[in-house]
Amino acid sequence: MSENSRPSGVPEYGPSPVNPEWPPPPPHAPQQPAGGPATPPAAAAFAAPATPAHRRSRGPAKLLVAVAIVAAAVGGTTAYGVQELTGGSATGVTASSTADTDVVPASLKGTVAGVAKAVSPSIVEIKAASSSGSATGSGVIVTEDGEVVTNNHVVAGASQIQVRTSDGKSYSAQVVGTDPAKDLALIKLEDASGLKAASLGDSDGVQVGDQVVAIGSPEGLTGTVTSGIVSALDRDVTVSTDESQGQQQWQRGGGWPFEFEGQEFNGDTGGSTTTYKAIQTDASLNPGNSGGALIDMNGNIIGINSAMYAPSGAESSTAGSVGLGFAIPVNTLKADLPELRAGAGS
């Protein structure tokens, strides 16, 4: 607009003037017919006399666009808030769990006590009986209706399996599937419901030096908690795939035979063996920890404890855990679960 076309009295700088072509608002609200509802003041303010369409659309249209933008912003914020509160999308679809789930109470975050409180209800004691004797191991609950993961060597050849949960309840169990090559097995508790399933983490994210917690039933001491660090990754651990090999020694509490770095521990592994990559930990593990959980500080399972060097000498200097334990990475378990559920090996 040129200076000559500027309306008289309007300064060169400052707020834009009201368009002189817009009609002024009425001096008062239009009268309503007798008996009809009175027009609200807010509505009356927009009740201007009709004008040609090309004039009427310029002011109110801009106002409506601005209102729409504000509404969209508010709506987006509200949707985000709903999603944050519900843990899912704004449409009510629950988000799937992730490997970074934090199951430890906020007040105990980063503590061994917090991990123990959060995860102990998901760890069970397993007693397996066979014709040659009985042995005690551990397991991890993976479904509320009683699917439990453990080591294959804990239940191999068992004719009867009894499981006790952290609250003292006992269940009979049946083998669903086994994978001797990975030393994994899946059992199912009979008539179980409402159990607390563990959160399966991501073993690919584990680093040497990470603090970890182990929970199991060493020597039949249900719910025993120990802690340590991840000592090494991708250790080649060799175990027997022969169900009868080492069972008697295992059932006597001597530990399950395995080979590491060319050495045999806990007895002879025999001629039929398999090797897997394991997480090494210095968390104290003893016979009975087999099949139990190795857990990160957020309460996620990162491994299934499977092998530990447990000297059986009579001298006190060689008795007990020496900080050499191994766990099957949980990602190996997660990849194997569909086949175990389908009855592999059984």
Helices marked H in the chain: 41-45, 53-56, 58-86, 112-119, 152-155, 247-251, 330-341
- Nearest Cα neighbor of 256 from 216, 289, 301 is 289
Q: Map residue 122 onto helix, strand or coil.
A: helix
Compute the half-sphere exposure of residue 7: CA atoms within 13 Å on the CB side of its CA: 8
Rounded CA separation 278/235 (Å): 5
The one catalytic residue among 183, 282, 296, 336: 183
Q: Which of 122, 138, 290, 321 is catalytic?
A: 290
C-alpha angle 57/61/65, rounded to 5°? 165
Other beta carbons within 10 angstroms of residue 250's beta carbon come to 25
169-174 CB contacts, 8 Å cutoff, 24+ apart: 171/146, 173/126, 173/146, 173/148
Is position 290 annotated as part of the catalytic site?
yes
Token readout for 108 is 């105990």
Catalytic site residue from 130, 153, 166, 336:
153
* Catalytic positions: 153, 183, 290
